[in-house]
Amino acid sequence: DTAVSQTPKYLVTQMGNDKSIKCEQNLGHDTMYWYKQDSKKFLKIMFSYNNKELIINETVPNRFSPKSPDKAHLNLHINSLELGDSAVYFCASSQELWNTEAFFGQGTRLTVV
Amino acid sequence: GEDVEQSLFLSVREGDSSVINCTYTDSSSTYLYWYKQEPGAGLQLLTYIFSNMDMKQDQRLTVLLNKKDKHLSLRIADTQTGDSAIYFCAENPGYNKLIFGAGTRLAVHP
């Protein structure tokens, strides 16, 4: 059983398109996150949600909109994709506080052409 | 400010010990973490240390924390080829997020 699963694993799309990445966790955690890993492997948080409520939005462009239909899901919608959006996007979950283990999904490699 | 720094590369011979170093900036971080990322894979939590500890050992892994200098290290004993990966140091300054370093790419050669 995969604890944190993301789909799709790979996504290639043209500039200007709108795309979504889905994330689900079956751990019963209250908090979910989206991280972006750039080509230099640098990881930076984008969003965190706790019980479906947005907690952190780290100066991410408005083209990125997370949606949490329930606390087991946190989807990422990206509008008007740009070349600079190409990266690996990781979903993660943890108990309410970060002071416990965080589980990461396998990542979604987004390539914008 | 929030900043975690690591050296980018480390090359060791199989069977030797590896030591990966990290410095962090936020003294309020309660926990400090080491994550491992294998090629094409997600992040796997290796170990973490509570800020009131100065050492934690878990099989081949030893974490040392110098809170005064805000320095964290990960020692891998008897390094194997399967240990080749990128190792990320991370701190949590509260606020429900982790701050990651840039990652240290460990290469293990025969």
Q: Please state, rounded to an integer, the average pLDDT across all residues of chain A.
A: 90
- Give A26's pLDDT tier (boundaries 50, 70, 90): very high
Nearest Cα residue in chain A from B33 = A101
Best residue in A27, A41, A50 for a mutation probing chain B (most B CBs within 10 Å)? A41
Q: pLDDT digit string (tens) for A51-79?
A: 888 887 777 899 999 999 998 999 999 99
Do A42 and B48 count as a contact with CB atoms less than 8 A apart?
A: no
List the structure tokens of B108: 């293990």
Return the exposure string of A80-107: e unless at least 16 CB atoms fall within 10 Å of the residue's CB, then b.
ebeeebbbbbbbbbbeeebeeebbbbbb
pLDDT at B95 over 90: no
- B97 interfaces chain A, CB cutoff of 8 Å: yes
Q: pLDDT digit string (tens) for A73-102?
A: 999 999 999 999 999 999 999 886 555 678
Q: In sequence order, what E strands does chain B have?
A: 4-6, 9-13, 18-24, 31-37, 43-50, 55-58, 61-66, 71-76, 85-91, 99-100, 104-109
- B98 interfaces chain A, CB cutoff of 8 Å: yes
Residues B73-84, mean pLDDT to the nearest whole number? 97
- Return the minimum-mean-pLDDT range out of A96-105, B11-20, B24-33: A96-105
CA distances from residue B87 to A44, A100, B41, B78, B105 in whole angstroms, order as listed = 15, 19, 12, 16, 6
**Cα B20 to Cα B85: distance, rounded to the nearest angstrom:** 12
Do A102 and B98 count as a contact with CB atoms less than 8 A apart?
A: yes
pLDDT at B84 over 90: yes
